[in-house]
Each structure stands twice: as structure tokens, then as C-alpha cells.
């Protein structure tokens, strides 16, 4: 779906795909990427008027994130993790060191990215743009992580569930994570911050939670 009036109206965009699509990321008004089931990645360079497609794996891909036009990551089930440094022309299988499903990825800069997923996995990279090494961090096996966002190089948030709504905060670039009060019993599926203090998380049953103090009650 596409809007040109800040969401007042939406129009359906035709794409040459029948797969379930799970995420979308645009690097500018014309260039964007979507991912989905059966390992599909779609890309457009004309504002969605036409879409190319590639298949990277048999696993469902859950999330895609770019830093600028060139550098991107896509993650999914089975620990699938692929990176590109050439605007999605080619993708390299870069493996996150886990077979757990990766549900979300956030690439802040060319050399810095974070992913989260099932059983608390939270791999991260701080390598160079051409060195796709990932370090595997685990936040706790009972944590099912669904979304991640880093508004700064050091401060980041992850959301999901562990029997109730779950929010984690990192202040060291994803090396360690601390629990915050989620104020929700529902699973939280996505998170976004406009700076290190002000952000929102959304989840099941129409849940929206907000903080203006970095999650500190």
C-alpha cells in the first residue's frame, strides 16, 4: 500500500509476487525493499511503479533494514541473515551463528547493525561495511523478541514477550540488555524511537505504549 498524503488515503501497489510480505524499507522516495515468505526480496527504484525480485533462501524472511542506499541486511527464520553492499544487486549469506528465527533487524550505519529473535537471540555487528562478522548475544532463553531499534550507537530497545509484554534496553551497543517495565500483558511486535528518550512500541490487541524518559519509570 502507498500514500502520498501522509496516510489520509492509501492505494494498493501491484507487485509481481504472491508470497506473504512481512516488512518494507525505503532508502529514499524511489528506492525500496520488501521481504517475505519463501525467501523473497522485492526491490523498486521508481517509487514502487515496478518491482524486481530475487529469492535468497527457502526460509521466510521477516525483516529488512538499510543504512543509506547501498548497505542492507535481511533476516528470517532458521537464522537466515543476508547482507548487501551494492543496493541489493547481490546478497551474501552472512550467518548470525544461530538457527533460531530472527524476527527483526535494524541497521543504523553501514558498519553497525542489530538483530533479534526467538529464545532471546540478539546478534550484532560493528565491523566494517565489507566485513560482515556477527557476534551472538543472548538476552535469555525465555525472551521471544519481535522488534529492535537503536536511536544511537549505544542506546537501543528490543520488544517481544516472555509470558507478558517485554521491553529491553541496551546502553552499550547491544552487548548487554536490561529489563524495563512494559505496562502491557500483550506481546509487543515493533518499536521505534525518535531519540534515545522518546519512543513507542506496538503489539497484540491494539497495544501502544509510549515513553518520554527512555523507559525509566
Give residue-wise pLDDT tens across range 145-169.
999 999 999 999 999 999 999 999 9
Q: Supply the pLDDT for residue 140.
A: 96
Domain for residue 16, yes or no? no
Domain for residue 156, yes or no? yes
How far apart CA 140 and CA 155 sit, in angstroms, is 19
Work out the pLDDT band at 130, boundaries 50, 70, 90.
low
Domain for residue 8, yes or no? no
Percent of all residues in the chain with a pLDDT value above 90, rounded to a whole number: 87
Q: Supply the pLDDT for residue 132.
A: 65
| Tally of domains in the chain | 1
Work out the pLDDT band at 128, boundaries 50, 70, 90.
low
Q: Supply the pLDDT for residue 217.
A: 74
Work out the pLDDT band at 129, boundaries 50, 70, 90.
low
Domain for residue 58, yes or no? yes
Cβ within 8 Å of residue 34, ≥6 positions away: 15, 21, 23, 24, 25, 41, 42, 43, 51, 64
Domain for residue 73, yes or no? yes
Query: Domain span at residue 57?
Result: 21-211
- Please report which helix (H) or strand (E) contains residue 83, including its range: strand 81-84
pLDDT value at 143 more than 90: yes
User: What's the CATH code of the domain at 181?
Assistant: 2.130.10.10
Cβ within 8 Å of residue 11, ≥6 positions away: 1, 2, 3
Domain for residue 2, yes or no? no
pLDDT value at 211 more than 90: yes
The residue-averaged pLDDT of 136-141 equals: 95
From the list 57, 48, 47, the residue with the least C-alpha distance to 14 is: 48
Domain for residue 147, yes or no? yes
How far apart CA 21 and CA 33 sit, in angstroms, is 11
Work out the pLDDT band at 54, boundaries 50, 70, 90.
very high
Weakest-pLDDT range from 77-91, 124-138, 162-176: 124-138
Tell me the pTM.
Answer: 0.93
Domain for residue 200, yes or no? yes
Amino acid at each position: 500500500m502507498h500514500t502520498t498524503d501522509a496516510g489520509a488515503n492509501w492505494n494498493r501497489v501491484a507487485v509481481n509476487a504472491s508470497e506473504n510480505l512481512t516488512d518494507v524499507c525505503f532508502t529514499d522516495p524511489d528506492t525500496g525493499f520488501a521481504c517475505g515468505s519463501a525467501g523473497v526480496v522485492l526491490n523498486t527504484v521508481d517509487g514502487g511503479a515496478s518491482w524486481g525480485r530475487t529469492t535468497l533462501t527457502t526460509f521466510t524472511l521477516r525483516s529488512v533494514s538499510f543504512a543509506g542506499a547501498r548497505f542492507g541486511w535481511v533476516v528470517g527464520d532458521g537464522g537466515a541473515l543476508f547482507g548487501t553492499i551494492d543496493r541489493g544487486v547481490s546478497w551474501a549469506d552472512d550467518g548470525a551463528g544461530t538457527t533460531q528465527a530472527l524476527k527483526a533487524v535494524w541497521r543504523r550505519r553501514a558498519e553497525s547493525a542489530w538483530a533479534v529473535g526467538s529464545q532471546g537471540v540478539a546478534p550484532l555487528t560493528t565491523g566494517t561495511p565489507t566485513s560482515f562478522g556477527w557476534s551472538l548475544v543472548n538476552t535469555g532463553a525465555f525472551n521471544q523478541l519481535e522488534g529492535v531499534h537503536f536511536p544511537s550507537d549505544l542506546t537501543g530497545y528490543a520488544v517481544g514477550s516472555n509470558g507478558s509484554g517485554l521491553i529491553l534496553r541496551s546502553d552499550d551497543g547491544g552487548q548487554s540488555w536490561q529489563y524495563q517495565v512494559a505496562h502491557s500483558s500483550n506481546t509487543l511486535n515493533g518499536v521505534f524511537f525518535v531519540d534515545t528518550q522518546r519512543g513507542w512500541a506496538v503489539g497484540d490487541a491494539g497495544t501502544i505504549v509510549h515513553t518520554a524518559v527512555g523507559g525509566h519509570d
